């Protein structure tokens, strides 16, 4: 009798709970595609066919395929609550794009990478009601990339095994690996290729010293290639361009100096100042008169005239004021001597 009562109670509980959840519906996008480095939005929304609104606590969770929640937040649906409460994470990689109180549960993943691909689950639990959960798929695409191109030495115990050139590529869809010779022809021996994960592939071919080979990765999104040994063309070009630029700059500087010297305006006037005027105008001190003798040395200063406006505009060179001075012997008047 006791077991029958428990069974009846369980059935009634299921019916009772289900009657509350029948009015709510969760909708998600079956699959979302995004390129590596872009932001992706996994849409998820909660609606009610009866038009009712949830009161109380709304608990939102986003989980991965192994049911590990990486985002979990709660918000109370009442007029006193402003904003999204704990569900706003603008600075993190994962955050909600809307307000859970309006049924907006979409997930924003910033700058997605290949490792972000996989299944995600949108889950919501309304206070007093059972939770709802739906699955969506994120597909991250990436153009082919050459991760490395190196020579692999054979192990010591391998005897006469040849050296091998190893190329590791990445992309999604997984790119195809092709080896090319120096003449850009496909090698007959493409070596062996192994997969190093869902998005990486490694290829190896025999390599002889001095040989030039190219590894190329191809997919529906494009291609990428790299050659070994690395080309020195770009480095040589940069050095040559730098030297040519320096020589051109030096040549222009030399031509400018010569042009200025040749086109410098001729002197059109010369003004001569004696000591007092020179001291006043230029701050130059005249020499002191000698203690004895019939003559003294005075400095005469000459300021060369500036070029005219026409001369400046034609030559394009700044004027250079010149002050010249020279010692001049000035004879004194005869002195009287006692008999």
Give per-residue burial for 293-317: e unless 16+ CB within 10 Å, then b. eeeeebbbbebbebbeeebeeebeb
Q: What is the pLDDT of residues 58-82, one digit of tens each?
A: 999 999 988 889 999 988 876 544 5
Same domain, 112 and 207: no
Question: Model-level pTM?
Answer: 0.59
Q: At CA 113, angle to CA 107 and CA 115, rounded to 5?
A: 95
Please give the pLDDT value at position 22: 56
User: Is the same domain home to 39 and 127?
Assistant: yes
> 256 with 310, same domain?
no
Asked which of 141, 175, 199 is the last residue of a domain, the reply is 141
Q: Are residues 46 and 134 in the same domain?
A: yes
Instruction: Give the helix ranges, DSSP H, for the chain.
Output: 2-21, 233-262, 275-282, 309-315
Provide the pLDDT for residue 84. Answer: 47
- Residue 171: CATH number of its domain: 2.60.40.10
- Is 154:161 a contact under the CB 8 Å cutoff? yes
> Domain range for residue 216?
143-154+161-228
Judgement on whether residues 62 and 170 belong to the same structural domain of the protein: no
pLDDT at 229 > cutoff 90: yes
Q: How confident is the model at residue 222 (pLDDT cuts 50, 70, 90)?
A: very high
For residue 249, being part of any structural domain is answered with yes
Closest CA to 274 of 257, 286, 259: 286
Beta carbons within 8 Å of 198's beta carbon, 6+ residues apart: 114, 117, 172, 174
Per mean pLDDT, which range of 132-136, 206-210, 250-254 is the poorest? 250-254
The answer to the question of residue 17 being in a domain is no
Q: Which range has the worst mean pLDDT, 46-55, 83-92, 146-155, 181-190?
A: 83-92
Note whether residue 320 is domain-resident.
Answer: yes
Q: Is residue 10 part of a domain?
A: no
CB atoms closer than 10 angstroms to residue 165: 20
Q: In this predicted model, which residue has the larger pLDDT, 23 or 332? A: 23
Is there a single domain that holds both residue 90 and residue 105?
Answer: yes
Q: Between residues 41 and 240, which one has the greater pLDDT?
A: 41
Is 255 within a domain? yes
**Total structural domains within the chain:** 4
* Predicted pLDDT at 50: 67
Q: Model confidence over 157-194: pLDDT tens digits?
A: 766 778 999 999 999 999 999 999 999 999 999 999 99
| Ramachandran category for residue 7: left, alpha or beta (phi over 0 → left; psi -120 to 50 → alpha) | alpha
pLDDT band per the 50, 70, 90 thresholds, residue 195: very high
Mean per-residue pLDDT over the chain, rounded: 76
């Amino acid at each position: 009798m006791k077991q029958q009562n428990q069974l009846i109670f369980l059935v009634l509980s299921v019916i009772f709970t289900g009657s509350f959840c029948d009015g709510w519906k969760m909708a998600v996008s079956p699959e979302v595609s995004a390129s590596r480095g872009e932001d992706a939005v996994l849409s998820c929304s909660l609606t009610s066919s009866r038009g009712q609104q949830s009161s109380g606590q709304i608990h939102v969770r986003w989980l991965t395929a192994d049911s590990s929640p990486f985002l979990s937040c709660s918000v109370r649906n009442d007029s006193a609550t402003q904003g999204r409460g704990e569900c706003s994470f603008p600075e993190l990689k994962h955050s909600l794009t809307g307000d859970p109180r309006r049924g907006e549960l979409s997930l924003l993943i910033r700058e997605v990478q290949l490792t972000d691909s996989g299944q995600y689950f949108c889950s919501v639990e309304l206070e007093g009601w059972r939770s709802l959960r739906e699955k969506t798929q994120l597909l991250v695409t990436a153009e082919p990339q050459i991760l490395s191109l190196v020579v692999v030495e054979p192990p010591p115990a391998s005897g006469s095994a040849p050296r091998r050139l190893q190329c590791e590529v990445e992309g999604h869809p997984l790119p195809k690996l092709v080896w090319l010779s120096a003449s850009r022809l496909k090698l007959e021996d493409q070596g062996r290729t192994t997969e190093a994960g869902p998005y990486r592939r490694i290829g190896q071919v025999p390599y002889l010293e001095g040989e030039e080979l190219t590894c190329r990765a191809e997919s529906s999104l494009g291609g990428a290639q790299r050659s070994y040994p690395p080309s020195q063309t770009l480095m040589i070009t940069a050095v040559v361009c730098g030297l040519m630029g320096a020589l051109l700059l030096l040549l222009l500087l030399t031509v400018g100096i010569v042009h200025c010297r040749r086109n410098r305006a001729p002197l059109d006037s010369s003004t001569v100042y004696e000591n007092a005027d020179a001291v006043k105008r230029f701050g130059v001190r005249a020499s002191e008169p000698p203690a004895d003798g019939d003559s003294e040395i005075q400095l005469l200063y000459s300021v060369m005239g500036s070029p005219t406006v026409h001369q400046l505009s034609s030559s394009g060179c700044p004027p250079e004021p010149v002050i010249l001075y020279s010692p001049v012997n000035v004879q004194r008047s005869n002195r009287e001597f006692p008999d």
